[in-house]
């Protein structure tokens, strides 16, 4: 029995490297596991999925609202010609792109790639598959651009894996990658006036005004939903302030699992309509879309490490229980 008494001091010296090695082994075991993972879709992810599915209806609702507003202003008789023309313009814009228009804010860099790229990639595939026009920008970080470009390149060619499948998407026609501009908050407000004047060119330098997709997406009112996948503190709040509070648009948030728990109050109050918490959110979205990809694959690593964490908590409490018992004696 003497050797049992030697375990605690030895364990205290070696527990860190043992835990690190076990974690590494479990992550590797998850990475090589190619089986499908069955996940239930939570309400937060379901809300995001349903919003993208129903973008057409949302757009029709917005069109009706502006038509009623135009009619009201015409009846009042005190509106200026500029206001009437503006309303007529937005009504005309909303009649096009009837499947909906989404703005995706790709706001993270390489560190958060593992959790958030699957979210953006899946949402992109969902939008392309349903014929939704997509504008993509990067929020506050210039380093997000190459990562965004890679993710877009992959998603535009992934059409055969979905049902219904989609052909290779064309930049300037089906989507446009706007890139980065400094001073995010002011930029988003400027997008309320004119997206083309805010950005002028897309990421590769082509003039936005020559692109077919931008013909009927002049300002924020022609966008139906904002999806922001952000790793930065304060960036989602900016979109909730600008996108939802100011422009009245549907906002979907994606982010890391840790940061996502901060946004459940906004989900409950209805300021956002969907929340993708980390890798689980991406995997749930892939389940909802019936297109398992890297999100579902990486969940195996998360599953094994979570189980290991639970085991360690139990072990730690048993250790604490016996050590307090010993101290009391």
User: Measured from the CB of residue 204, what is the shortest distance to other proteins in angstroms?
Assistant: 5
When asked if residue 317 is in the footprint of other proteins (CB under 8 A), the reply is yes
Here's the x/- map for other proteins, 104-123, by CB under 8 A: it reads as -----xxxxxx---------
Among 7, 8, 10, 20, interactor with other proteins by CB under 8 A: 20
Joined tokens for residue 87: 């309303």
Contact code string over 143-172 relative to other proteins, x by CB under 8 A: x--xx------x--xx-xx-----------
Residue 15 sits in the site that holds other proteins (CB under 8 A): yes
User: Does residue 194 interact with other proteins by CB under 8 A?
Assistant: no
Q: Taking the complex as a whole, how short is the minimal distance between the CB of residue 192 and other proteins, in angstroms?
A: 8
**Pattern 233-272, other proteins, x by CB under 8 A:** x-----------x----------xxxx-xx-xx--x----
| By the rule CB under 8 A, 294 interacts with other proteins | yes
Q: Which is it for the CA torsion 218, 236, 282, 279, positive or negative?
A: positive
Q: Does 183 bind other proteins (CB under 8 A)?
A: yes
Stretch that binds other proteins, among 1-9, 45-53, 96-104, 308-316 (CB under 8 A): 308-316
The correct pick among 134, 251, 272, 299 for binding other proteins (CB under 8 A) is 299
Q: Is 197 a binder of other proteins (CB under 8 A)?
A: no
Of 81, 43, 49, 55, the residue nearest 267 (C-alpha): 43
Question: At closest approach, how far in Å is the CB of 146 from other proteins?
Answer: 5
SS (H, E, C) the chain: CHHHHHHHHHHHHHHHHHHHHHHHHHHHHHHCCCCCCCCCCCHHHHHHHHHHHCHHHHHHHHHHHHHHHHHHHHHHCCCCHHHHHHHHHHHHHHHCCCCCEEEEEEECCHHHHHHHHHHHHHHHHHHHHCCCEEEEECCCCCCHHHHHHHHHHHHHCCHHHCCCCCCCCCECCCEEEEECCCCHHHHHHHHCCCHHHHHCECCCCCEHHHCHHHHHCCCHHHCCEEEEEECCCCHHHHHHHHHHHHCCCEEEEEECHHHHHHHHHHHHHCCCCEEEEHHHHHHHHHHHHCCCCHHHHHHHHHHHHHHHHHHHHHHHHHHHHHHHHHHHC
Question: Which of 5, 6, 16, 290 contacts other proteins by CB under 8 A?
Answer: 16
298 lines the binding site for other proteins (CB under 8 A): no
309 binds other proteins (CB under 8 A): yes
- The residue among 2 and 38 lying less far from other proteins, judged by its C-beta, is 38
Which token pair is 176? 């446009």
The encoded tokens of residue 226 equal: 């904002």
Q: State the residues that interact with other proteins by CB under 8 A.
A: 15-16, 19-20, 23, 27, 34, 37-40, 42-43, 109-114, 143, 146-147, 154, 157-158, 160-161, 182-183, 186-187, 189-190, 193, 204-205, 231-233, 245, 256-259, 261-262, 264-265, 268, 280, 293-294, 297, 299, 302-310, 312-313, 315-317, 320
């Amino acid at each position: 029995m003497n050797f049992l008494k030697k375990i605690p001091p030895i364990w205290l010296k070696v527990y860190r490297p043992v835990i690190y090695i076990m974690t590494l082994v479990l992550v590797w075991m998850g990475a090589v596991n190619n089986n499908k993972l069955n996940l239930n879709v939570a309400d937060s992810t379901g809300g995001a999925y349903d919003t993208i599915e129903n973008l057409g209806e949302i757009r029709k609702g917005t069109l009706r609202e502006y038509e009623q507003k135009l009619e009201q202003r015409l009846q009042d008789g005190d509106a200026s010609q500029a206001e009437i023309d503006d309303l007529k313009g937005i009504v005309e814009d909303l009649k096009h792109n009837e499947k909906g228009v989404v703005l995706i804010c790709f706001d993270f860099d390489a560190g958060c790639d593992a959790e958030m790229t699957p979210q953006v990639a899946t949402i992109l595939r969902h939008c392309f598959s349903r014929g939704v026009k997509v504008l993509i920008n990067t929020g506050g970080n210039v380093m997000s651009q190459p990562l965004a470009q890679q993710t877009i390149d992959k998603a535009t060619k992934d059409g055969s894996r979905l049902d219904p499948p989609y052909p290779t998407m064309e930049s300037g026609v089906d989507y446009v990658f706007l890139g980065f501009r400094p001073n995010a908050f002011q930029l988003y407000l400027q997008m309320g006036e004119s997206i083309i004047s805010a950005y002028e060119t897309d990421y590769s330098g082509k003039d936005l005004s020559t692109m077919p997709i931008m013909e009927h997406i002049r300002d924020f009112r022609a966008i139906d939903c904002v999806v922001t996948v952000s790793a930065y503190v304060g960036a989602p709040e900016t979109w909730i302030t600008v996108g939802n509070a100011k422009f009245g648009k549907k906002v979907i948030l994606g982010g890391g699992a840790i940061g996502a728990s901060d946004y459940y109050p906004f989900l409950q109050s209805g300021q956002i309509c969907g929340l993708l918490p980390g890798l689980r959110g991406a995997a749930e979205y892939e389940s909802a879309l019936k297109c398992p990809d890297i999100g579902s694959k990486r969940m195996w690593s998360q599953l094994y490490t979570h189980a290991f964490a639970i085991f360690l908590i139990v072990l730690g409490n048993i250790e604490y229980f016996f050590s307090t018992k010993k101290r009391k004696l």
